[in-house]
Amino acid sequence: DEIGDWRLCVLSPWGGRVHAAWGLALSARIRDEYDMEADAIWSDDGIVVHLPDADEAPPADLVLLEPDEIEDLVVRELGGSALFGARFRENAARSLLIPRAYPGKRTPLWQQRLKSQSLLEVAKDFPRFPVILETYRECLRDVLDLPSL
């Protein structure tokens, strides 16, 4: 790109649900194998992975993942993703863990985000916390399409 970083683009017809899971798995794999933070952006058309610290072009087989490692990579990466944070906020609000300001009055979204972020920090110490379990279930079954990957 224009600042000298490498970007890896994968175009496919499989849609955003598959690309989201694939992007999370690629980010985890790049962190594990190359010890660098990679940001993956996905859409219905494909994935773009930003490799900020790469000195040379990434190998083409980097995007090929073993079927038995995909779910583990996605689950490890999912907990720290923006997708998980957004779904956690929705689930926490639905379960009434994020208090409302006044009856009949809306709480601003930025305030909900701050409250859910602090709740998530506390809840991460309890892996069996019901809202965390529901968020993982929702992401892995309803949002992402792991079986198609």
CA 113 from chain centre, in angstroms, equals 16
Biggest CA–CA distance in the chain, Å, is: 57
Express each pLDDT in 86-119 by its tens digit: 999 999 999 988 887 777 788 888 888 999 999 9
Low-confidence ranges of the chain (pLDDT < 50): none
Regarding beta strands 39-42 and 6-11, do their DSSP bridges make them parallel or antiparallel, or are they unpaired?
unpaired
pLDDT at site 149: 81
pTM as predicted: 0.85
pLDDT at site 23: 95
Contacts of 18 (CB under 8 A, 6+ apart): 12, 145, 148, 149
pLDDT at site 1: 66
pLDDT at site 129: 95
